Structure 1
Amino acid sequence: MKSKSQTVTLAGERFESLQALRAIAAVAVLIFHLRFVELRYLEGHALLDWLGRNADAGVDLFFVLSGFVMASISRGKGSGPSAARDFLTQRAWRVVPLYWMFTTLVVLLMSVAPAMVNSSYADQSIAASYLLIPHQQLPVLAVGWTLVHEAYFYLVFSLALALAYGTRQRLSLFAMAWGSLVGFGYWQGFDEGAPTASVVFSPLTFEFLAGVLTGLHWRRIPPRFGSLLFITGLGVLLLAAALLPPSDSEFNAPLRRVIHLGLGSALLIAGSALLETSGHRPNRLLIELGDASYSLYLSHIFVISAIGRMWGHFLPSAHWLNHGFFLLFTVFVACLSGNLIHKRIERPLLDLRYRWKAAGTFR
């Protein structure tokens, strides 16, 4: 029997296309980080120096997907304090245990092999990292910064459910009001203040809200527009990734990046959902990798860093073939490792909650 944790379920329907998009997003982030590993450990010109400069667009796709899924699964599930509590419990169980496991691994490395972790970790708050509380530095598990934003999204979205905003119209109004407040704060420069304000008023919230509004209204779009939306969204994402300055460049304005990548992601997701309702199914390997996307996202830094160190020590050749083999091998091993972690650790953890819930010992 297929695990309940494997594919996204929206109002009783299984949407494998969203899992495929999760896979694409996770691999894009992997490639973005692999660019730095290649630059650091291998000699000569890095093949990913240009190709991977904006591959962190996978994070933007993740945020829009998150909003889309949250809005879709909340419909028809009721509202009020109990619905908000159930929503937060489900999301916490989905996100926190595996994140804590990898955070603990970093903490242990900081203690026994500090040379293997970023030296700036010494200035980071371990407690804030575990609790996903915004602070001046990145969490000790660097990719956890996106989970800080996710935790904020979940808290505010649960407020909407607690206030009985479970209908499509009320959730849409709530999302637009939320976006207006964020926009005002960003315009006033509140995002440049304290760590909490920088999260609350971050333009990245617009991507989550774009996903929420897409998730609430995509069924109103005629299915025949699925291909057009998919192609347009993919084109916008690829053009933005190719033409925008690198994400770490001072010329890459956050709002401009969010507008391009958020819009492209929303169009791609709506098109994918419409195509699936018309009978189109994504590649099975993409679906399986999408199932493991969270495990891949959290674990890939460890894998690519370890391979990069070993490859740079034994095979530092500047030849482009050496670089190519390194990239293919590292992506393959990282994806394989993420899949194994999903099957051996993540999925059993998720299924444990369903067993406890069925037994009446967990709600």
Structure 2
Amino acid sequence: MQTAKNIEQSFQTRHLPELDGIRGIAILSVLFYHLFWFTSPGAHWTGFPFLLWKVAQVGWAGVNLFFVLSGFLITRILIHQKGKPYYFSRFYKRRALRILPLYLVTLAFIFFHYENSGLFVLISLAFLAHVPSVFGVTPCYPGLWSLSVEEQFYLVWPQLIQRFSLNSVKRVSIFLCVVSAILRGLSFKFAAWSVILGVLGGYDGFAYGSLLAIVFWEEKGNSHKLKAFSLLCFVIASGALLLGYKFGIGTRQKLVGEMFLPSLIYLISASFMAFSLAHSGANYLKILSKGILPQWGKLSFAAYLCHYPVPEITNKILSLFPEIYSYYFAFWFSALQFVLSLGMTYIISLLLHHWVELPFLKWKETEIFSSKNDFPRKEQAVPSR
């Protein structure tokens, strides 16, 4: 018979299918940005094509959503494992199985495909691809910067969760949310320090996700706090947008936008995630747990790593047909190339997922990595203070 304690722990550690769909939204946003906006001559268009091109420009926010997701998932895992044997070794081994196989395959591709990429591959191996200018390196595969930022987060956050109470982690997370925005503003004003300040100012996405994870953990089967958290984030984001719009909060070309536009994206992401968790299982959220979105979500890591060279391939394929390629500046040509690129990305991601990711992910279920029988017992309950 399940006790109230066991029911609470089951709620806290259960699989959250809606997050697969949210991950799908994040990767499709990034793909829409890189495979359509980034490769299309949309500035020459008018009407609906131009509007669609401008919408695709916002797809960069998908990376911000990934950061909030990572902050939530990693904090939730760490809270669950807090105080248990092999806390650090188990966490880092499982992260290595999740990240390194595909990451190393990608670096091998970069090394053999791009000329003079050796130094970039070297700093990427050290997860320093987010600061290539420090080493005088031109990034030949720009998407790796976000993985480097995540790895920095992985180095610090487990220490914080293990050594401090959840209330202390809350305070640190709120502090990061405020300080990161200030540092982004300083990087905008002081160009000479923009690299280091910009890096330090990029961690608040994880902090918002961490706050959501703590609220979720403290819920214990009750969704009132999640709903309140969702509403609070939405109200703050909406209020800031209304108050700051005339000051340029909607563009990162202005100081206010550089400081607070990422914060708005993080707040909206956290609000949407909290809403989805609070209403988990609702019919109107089935789109997040069934169908194309969760499928893309499961392939998101492979898709993120493999999609960058795909437009180069589809462009060469289309150039073989002069009667089509002569319409390069037409909207339908860009739409065709986007569909081809998206389809090719899906196929490559599926192959990488089955041939590279899954074989290593299965190791996570072996005795040395698995934590399926490791749920908190009464004497190991995670402290909330």
1: CA distance, partners of 2:11 / 2:95: 15
Q: For residue 312 of structure 2, what is the aligned residue in structure 1?
A: 305
Q: 1:104 and 1:139, CA in 2 relative to 1: closer, same or farther beyond 3 A?
A: farther
Q: 1:185 and 1:50, CA in 2 relative to 1: closer, same or farther beyond 3 A?
A: closer
- The two structures have a TM-score, normalised by structure 2, of 0.73
How far is 1:303 from its partner? 1.9
- The CA deviation string for residues 327-348 of structure 1, in whole angstroms up to 9 with x for no partner, is 2232233223222321222111
Q: Does 1:97 align with 2:101?
A: yes
1: CA distance, partners of 2:226 / 2:183: 39
Q: For residue 18 of structure 2, what is the aligned residue in structure 1?
A: 17
- The CA deviation string for residues 126-185 of structure 1, in whole angstroms up to 9 with x for no partner, is 31112112331565431010011101111110221342x3x5323213323445664665
Q: What are the residue-to-residue correspondences of 1:79-158 with 2, within 5 Å?
A: 79=83, 82-111=86-115, 125-133=120-128, 134-136=131-133, 137=137, 139-158=139-158
Q: Is the 8 A contact 1:230 1:270 kept in 2?
A: no
2: CA distance, partners of 1:270 / 1:92: 28
Q: Is the 8 A contact 1:57 1:261 kept in 2?
A: yes
Q: What are the residue-to-residue correspondences of 1:264-279 with 2, within 5 Å?
A: 264-276=268-280
- The CA deviation string for residues 181-209 of structure 1, in whole angstroms up to 9 with x for no partner, is 6466556658963855542x22x211110
How far is 1:321 from its partner? 3.0
Structure 1 residue identity aligned to 2:64 = D
Of 270-279 and 29-38, more deviation after overlay is shown by 270-279
Q: Does 1:216 align with 2:198?
A: no
Q: For residue 37 of structure 1, what is the aligned residue in structure 2?
A: 39
Return 5+ residue gaps in structure 1 as ranges. 1-8, 115-120
Q: Is the 8 A contact 1:84 1:158 kept in 2?
A: yes
Q: Is the 8 A contact 1:20 1:286 kept in 2?
A: yes
Q: 1:276 and 1:310, CA in 2 relative to 1: closer, same or farther beyond 3 A?
A: same
RMSD of the alignment, in Å?
Answer: 3.8
Instruction: Give the count of matched residue pairs.
Output: 332
Q: For residue 257 of structure 1, what is the aligned residue in structure 2?
A: 261
- The CA deviation string for residues 8-37 of structure 1, in whole angstroms up to 9 with x for no partner, is x98431111111111111111111112222
Partner SS, residue 82 of structure 2: coil
Q: Is the 8 A contact 1:23 1:293 kept in 2?
A: yes
Match of 1:287 among 279, 294, 306: 294
Q: For residue 5 of structure 1, what is the aligned residue in structure 2?
A: none
2: CA distance, partners of 1:191 / 1:151: 25
How far is 1:298 from its partner? 0.5
Q: 1:130 and 1:39, CA in 2 relative to 1: closer, same or farther beyond 3 A?
A: farther
How far is 1:277 from its partner? 5.2
Q: 1:285 and 1:184, CA in 2 relative to 1: closer, same or farther beyond 3 A?
A: closer
Q: 1:338 and 1:354, CA in 2 relative to 1: closer, same or farther beyond 3 A?
A: same
2: CA distance, partners of 1:222 / 1:285: 30
Partner SS, residue 147 of structure 2: helix
Partner SS, residue 59 of structure 2: coil
Q: Is the 8 A contact 1:29 1:56 kept in 2?
A: yes
Structure 1 residue identity aligned to 2:54 = W
Q: 1:344 and 1:140, CA in 2 relative to 1: closer, same or farther beyond 3 A?
A: same
1: CA distance, partners of 2:367 / 2:16: 26
Return 5+ residue gaps in structure 2 as ranges. 1-9, 371-385
2: CA distance, partners of 1:159 / 1:195: 25
- The two structures have a TM-score, normalised by structure 1, of 0.77
Q: 1:54 and 1:181, CA in 2 relative to 1: closer, same or farther beyond 3 A?
A: closer
2: CA distance, partners of 1:146 / 1:290: 17
Q: Is the 8 A contact 1:22 1:62 kept in 2?
A: yes
Q: Does 1:348 align with 2:359?
A: yes
2: CA distance, partners of 1:132 / 1:224: 34
Structure 2 residue identity aligned to 1:144 = L
Kindly name which structure, 1 or 2, has the bigger radius of gyration based on alpha carbons: 2
Of 69-78 and 291-300, more deviation after overlay is shown by 69-78
Partner SS, residue 64 of structure 1: helix
- The CA deviation string for residues 279-324 of structure 1, in whole angstroms up to 9 with x for no partner, is 7532332112111100011011122321123224532214433333
How far is 1:79 from its partner? 3.5
Q: For residue 77 of structure 2, what is the aligned residue in structure 1?
A: 73
- Between the two proteins, what is the percent identity of the paired residues? 19
Partner SS, residue 14 of structure 1: coil
Q: For residue 337 of structure 1, what is the aligned residue in structure 2?
A: 348
